[in-house]
Structure 1
Amino acid sequence: MRIIVYGSLRRKQGNSHWMTNAQWLGDYQVEGYELYNLGHYPGVIPGEGKIEGEVYRIDAMTLGELDALRTKGGEYKRQLVPTPYGSAWMYIYQRSVAGRQHIPSGNWLDRVDHA
């Protein structure tokens, strides 16, 4: 199975250690979504933009660990999106983004951290 990650799970980001056993397949821009800075990690919601992501092949155990990290408390839900590498799971943010910083480029690396 495949997953597309767009924030703290990307290479050289704070939670990239969760992807240690994953096989990187390539980068991909997903259209129809907007990226928001939620603090230490991002959220993606359906919208007018595109987001920068990395597609990985993962096993069921890794997906289970990511589900435990991302879907607890209903913060995210998984949705299949098409990629050039085949359909991939992507985590969609389920809460309000009111007052959160929108990242127009769709690239988590372009965020502005507020210390």
Structure 2
Amino acid sequence: MHLDYLRAAIADTPRVAVYGTLKQGFNNAHWLNGARRLGSDTTRALTLYDIGPYPGAKRQPSKGVSIEVYEVNIGHLAQLDRLEDYRINAPAQGEYDRQQIATRFGRAWVYLYNPGVASKRAICEGGWEMPYTDHD
């Protein structure tokens, strides 16, 4: 069933929009190895929240946050679902839900943060910056 669900998702929208640690140069970009980067875009459909080591997005209007859009396959989408704790049978129970947004490259899947963000800093314009980590 999971494979059929992924096939249907990719057939509907073979793109994913990323806004945080999956972007080029960030620590989780390797999860998109082999995916075709279509380019950058700005969306006013999302507001980002600084969760600490990563951001979370909510479907809330903004002045425009930066995203990267990739063409992905079933394998990429399955890996991203695991990384983002997206639960096919109970999307509201995982850390992220996967929904679609419009981009200049067409509709793309985006992972929306499920937990509350009342105490988190909102990023309504631009992008999230990975916090500096001292590895010494």
Normalising to structure 2: TM-score of the pair? 0.76
My pick for the range that moved more, 46-55 or 89-98, is 46-55
- Mind listing any 5+ residue stretches in structure 1 that lack a counterpart? none
Residue 65 of structure 2 is aligned to residue 51 of structure 1: yes
Q: How does 1:71-82 map to 2 (within 5 A)?
A: 71=86, 74-82=94-102
- Mind listing any 5+ residue stretches in structure 2 that lack a counterpart? 1-13, 88-92
Equivalent residues of 2:53, 2:131 under 8 A apart = no
Equivalent residues of 1:34, 1:106 under 8 A apart = no
Equivalent residues of 1:55, 1:88 under 8 A apart = yes
- In structure 2, distance between residues paired with 1:41 and 1:55: 18
Pick the aligned partner of 1:66 from 80, 87, 90. Answer: 80
| Alpha-carbon distance change, 79 to 45 in structure 1, aligned in 2, over 3 angstroms | same
Which of structures 1 and 2 has the bigger CA Rg?
2
CA RMSD after TM alignment: 1.9
- In structure 2, distance between residues paired with 1:64 and 1:41: 20
My pick for the range that moved more, 91-100 or 65-74, is 65-74
Cα deviation for residue 114 of structure 1 reads: 9.4
- In structure 1, distance between residues paired with 2:123 and 2:132: 11
2:15 maps to a residue whose letter is R
Equivalent residues of 2:45, 2:101 under 8 A apart = no
Equivalent residues of 1:25, 1:55 under 8 A apart = yes
Name the SS of the counterpart of 1:97 in structure 2: coil
- In structure 2, distance between residues paired with 1:13 and 1:65: 17
Name the SS of the counterpart of 2:122 in structure 1: strand
Q: Which has the higher strand share?
A: 1
Pick the aligned partner of 1:85 from 86, 105, 109. Answer: 105
- In structure 2, distance between residues paired with 1:112 and 1:60: 31
Identity rate of aligned residues, in percent? 35
